[in-house]
Amino acid sequence: MIKVSVVTVVFNGEKFLEQTIQSVLNQTHKNIEYIIIDGGSKDKTIDIIKKYEDRLAYWVSEKDHGIYDAMNKGILKATGELVGLINSDDFYSDNTSIENIVTAYQNNNSPDVLYGNMKFFNPETNQFKIIYPSISALKTDMTLNHPTCFLKTELYKSKLFDINFRICADYDLILFFYTNGKKLLYVDKIITTMRIGGASDNFKLSTKEVFLVQKKYFSLFLASKNYVIRHTKRFLKNILLILVSGEKIESIKGFNK
């Protein structure tokens, strides 16, 4: 049976970590190597990890240089054939999520990268929205749902995340493999549920990093064009919200963030 390594990175994640852990340990695919990398949490995170440590392959709690540095640490510890990354406030949507990935991997000549559908969960409204990936739109944004992605371990270890990026290192890595001819396979299943919020919601930083990634792999012209489009959409969205809510124009937020 194919061994799958799953890595969770966490820092002060006591609120949702246990749900994440249980979603991994309850998978129907039983050959899972589960690795948790903690960034030196000060809350009850360590207590939660210790509760399950007899079912973990490895865990550590120490300071790191950010989320992608922590992910790299976990990847380097992985010994499975495939690696999946799931953050401490996300969870696998179904107990067959990893089994679906492994089945697709075995039935399609062992592709380099597998990716699927993702649910976004809004805790404020208690609503879900399914997000479908688009490989054809990778030139405009990170349109693959990285928490649903599983990569060959040897591929991950050949080029780890660039920790100079704070938000878009996953986009950078996927584009590297995509532009270098690696085989990517779409698995039409809901793999992961992600809560809305977190670092990737930082519009100013994400827009800057998306620009740098696109410039790196495509061209300055394309990156600049997408940068303008991104800001324009943001501006129009805020205008629409103001018109709907009746707020004053001075209340526009985000356009210059």
**Going residue by residue through the chain (257 aa), what tens digit of pLDDT does each one get?**
999 999 999 999 999 999 999 999 999 999 999 999 999 999 999 999 999 999 999 999 999 999 999 999 999 999 999 999 999 999 999 999 999 999 999 999 999 999 999 999 888 888 899 999 999 999 999 999 999 999 999 999 999 999 999 999 999 999 999 999 999 999 999 999 998 865 555 788 889 999 999 999 999 989 999 989 887 887 777 777 676 665 444 433 333 33
CA distance 42 to 12: 6
CATH code for the domain in which residue 36 is found: 3.90.550.10
Helix (H) or strand (E) holding 34: strand 32-38
Report residue 86 as tokens: 């799931």
Q: Is 99 part of a structural domain of the chain?
A: yes
Report strand pairing: 4-10 vs 82-85: parallel
Q: Which uninterrupted H or E stretch holds 175?
A: helix 169-179
Please state the pTM of the whole predicted model: 0.88
Q: What is the dihedral of CA 169, 174, 176, 181, to 10 degrees?
A: 170
Contact between 177 and 149 under an 8 Å Cβ cutoff? The reply is no
Q: State residue 255's pLDDT score.
A: 33
pLDDT of residue 245: 64
Domain membership of residue 123 (yes or no) is: yes
Q: At what angle do helices 220-245 and 203-217 cross, to 10 degrees?
A: 160
Tokens of 118: 């993702």
Asked if residue 207 belongs to a domain, the reply is no
The vertex-157 CA angle with 155 and 163, nearest 5°, equals 115
Strands 150-152, 113-122: pairing is antiparallel
Domain count, the chain: 2
Asked if 54 and 97 sit in the same domain, the reply is yes
Decide if 14 is inside a domain.
Answer: yes
pLDDT at 253: 37
User: Does any domain span residue 209?
Assistant: no
User: Which structural domain, as residue segments, surrounds residue 228?
Assistant: 220-251
Q: Kindly tell me the sign of the dihedral angle through the C-alpha atoms of 216, 217, 222, 227.
A: negative
**Is residue 192 located within the same domain as residue 225?**
no
Q: Is 101 in the same domain as 226?
A: no
